[in-house]
Structure 1
Amino acid sequence: MPFTLPSGPPVTFKARLHDARTATAIGRWLGLAMAICFATGVVSHYLQHPPGWLADHLPSRPYWGYRFTQGLHVASGIAAIPLLLAKLWAVYPRLFAWPPVRSVLHALERVSVAVLVAAGLLELFTGLLNTFQWYPWPFNFVPVHYALAWIMLGSLLLHVAVQWPKIRDHFTLRSSGTLALPESDGPDRRRLLLGVTAAVGAVTLTTVGQSVTALGRLDLFGPRSPSHGVQGLPVNRTAAAAGVTAASLADWRLIVDGPSPYTLTLEELRAMPQHEVILPIACVEGWSKSARWTGVRVRDLLERAGGGPEARARVVSLEAVGAYRVMEMGRLYAQDPLTLLALGLNGEVLSMDHGYPARIIAPNRPGVLQTKWVGRLEVA
């Protein structure tokens, strides 16, 4: 690939495998990983921040749904990182092509590549840091991450459209299109792809155990180990971080507001019919684990306050500040018999860090919406 920069001697890239077939072979898997990551990310976003028209239609079943989709989201995002780096290695000589713009189509191609690379790198690496709850940037992660996902999707579709002739020529193992590629590159290309596959497998297997219980022993680099934590369950936000203390709970009462409002002490709550469910806590960072919860059904509390079978719920936490201090619960969640105001965890009274004296546990919900330290429940 000889060319001349604006000044200086000609530059020639002599390394092999910087070709369309290698780029397409890696791009197939990168595109699949990004598609899965995007789709599951949209699911996660709308479960966390549903618009009003959707809130009552979000399904509470299957109860393990969010655990599956969010685990897949984080796993596919982590797998996409070595794939994106390998893809960039395969095509980086094209960044130095001269002249930089040869036609309108070529300009579109370079713009799509620039936006795709920038959005892809920022999206994947900020997402990775989010799994560790590390935010070394001044912007709000959630809306920026969501917006970047759409920018990345748009630039990816534009890039595929511009590059489609080359992708089509090299998409299958036997196709070679109009380009005569050296047969001697075949073994090296297979070794490269095998190495990339090994890298993807390594980063996936050593992190996916945080959400797949059967692979828990391989969870070497995941930010959370589901097997460690208070009462056998990890904790993201402690009572101290939320500003909840034993002194602030000394005179705790649950306020249930609605057409027929009432209050309950902890002893009165425990005297009500108790139900036991096995449900997972599934956090947006990717980790999840099932646990045994006991408590009072939310729909029973809402019914007593005058809420009918169509009632929604609004839950208010005692924590002083927090983006999810007030949580809205759609009708299907509020009326599901698995949705509890939980008082116990794994046969024990809730610890402070797990939301003592009472917390929400519901099926198919992000962990940030399983509100802890509940002080108020409203018929909505």
Structure 2
Amino acid sequence: MLRSIAQRVPPPPTEKSFRSPLHHPRVATVIGRWLALAVVICFLTGLFSHLQQATPGWLVIPSRPASLYRVTQGLHVLSGTIAVPLLLAKLWTVYPKLFAKPPWPPSREALATILERLSILVLVSAMALELFTGFLNTVQWYPWPFPFKQTHYALAWIIIGALCVHLAVKLPLILAHWRRTPSDRSQAAGSLPPAITGLTRRGLFRTVAGAATLVGITSVGQSVPALGPVAVLAPRKPNVGPQGLPINRTAKDAGVTGIDADWRFTIKGPQQLSYSLDELRQLPQSRSELPIACVEGWSQGARWEGVRIRDLLRLCGATKDSSVRVVSMEKGGFYATSELPPEFAHDPLTLLALRLNGDELALDHGFPARIIAPNRPGVLQTKWVHRLEVIS
């Protein structure tokens, strides 16, 4: 009886048990190209954002184009979002490889297989964690004990390193299936049987591309106003909030309750200057049409009015190569201070803003004064400013 039961138990699956044409290397290569493109765009735009916030001394980031950061960070979040369905599709096409037995005894081929599997383990694990934490960052939820920015940055380099190793190991197979072969054309024409799902390879490609496009269109509206009405997956509506702009950190969260009657704005430079709010309003005012572009991916254009930072620097006798440290009334926090390099401090669009969209700044938007500069992350557009310090 035991022998009959054993005969009825199917043998464990092997790689050859999966005969669907959707698991063909050509399918994995095509979807892998799309995924690699999304990863590279996400990495480069994320690197630009990181360098904006932690600029090394040798690097000069220009202040123009004024909306460059809005575009790059929108692409960063969009490419990361699109990468989710692409990664799932890629894993589905290659999962039969999990049932492949490595060559034995140990040989050069066995070592290559082990290296390939290790690179895939690191790559998939790092990408899954990167995409998961990145999504939670867009909704500003941080249920982990480690710092998000540093961890996100480190994971990006791990992903790129693992991807390079994976591509190097699989390069012969990728090159062999980079272009369509006669058998691929036969499958596209329907002369080969479709998968048990009823999908052909072309049908799978259309499904994956359609899913990625749908996810992108329904999320990119947080940075592309024209698609705002269909942005059902976007965590933010960029035109919803006080004075038509969203709020990431409220005045209450920052410990700012307003200003006293004796509040003064000060500049520490070659000459020490001090102004009341009314005196700031009496200085020559300028207007800048600039977007707020946040690291979470949302952005919204606005009309700002205030005093040019370069005019304030000229009044205190600062040179044109001076940087400026901006100090907020915020109680603690990672961005209670920021630095304006010379390229930003002396740009005519950079303002100590006092008004937003025709009205006095709301408290949550930085009343009595905030920084607005071109091509800068929103976290560096410091709110509740009460002091500038000139750095030679």
Determine if the TM-score, normalized by the shorter chain, exceeds 0.5. yes
Match of 2:249 among 237, 240, 250: 237
Partners of 1:14 and 1:96 lie apart in 2 by 10
* Structure 1 residues without counterparts, runs of 5 or longer: 1-7
Residue matched to 2:295: 284
Q: 1:142 to 1:358 in 2, by over 3 A?
A: same
Residue matched to 1:169: 176
Residue matched to 1:360: 371
Pair 1:34-2:39 in alignment: yes
Residue matched to 1:131: 138
Post-superposition offset of 1:184: 2.9
Partners of 1:329 and 1:78 lie apart in 2 by 31
Identity %: 57
Pair 1:267-2:274 in alignment: no
Partners of 2:296 and 2:182 lie apart in 1 by 40
Post-superposition offset of 1:242: 0.4
Match of 2:13 among 6, 11, 22: 11
Alignment of structure 1 residues 1-380 onto 2, 5 Å: 9-12=11-14, 13-14=17-18, 16=20, 17-54=22-59, 57-99=60-102, 103-174=110-181, 183-185=192-194, 188-246=200-258, 248-380=259-391
Residue matched to 1:5: none
Partners of 2:193 and 2:121 lie apart in 1 by 32
Deviation string for 1:41-60 (max 9, x for gaps)? 10010011111232xx2100
Over alpha carbons, which structure has the higher Rg? 2
Partners of 2:254 and 2:58 lie apart in 1 by 31
Partners of 1:304 and 1:346 lie apart in 2 by 27
Partners of 1:207 and 1:302 lie apart in 2 by 41
Residue matched to 1:4: none
Number of residues of Structure 1 aligned to a counterpart in Structure 2: 369
**TM-score normalised by length of structure 2:** 0.90
Q: Is residue 169–residue 176 contact of structure 1 (8 Å, CA) maintained in 2?
A: no
Post-superposition offset of 1:308: 1.1
Post-superposition offset of 1:185: 4.1
3-state DSSP of counterpart to 1:53 = coil
* Structure 2 residues without counterparts, runs of 5 or longer: 1-9
Post-superposition offset of 1:227: 1.9
Partners of 1:14 and 1:312 lie apart in 2 by 62
Deviation string for 1:9-68 (max 9, x for gaps)? 4324346122211111110100000010001010010011111232xx210000000000
3-state DSSP of counterpart to 1:281 = strand
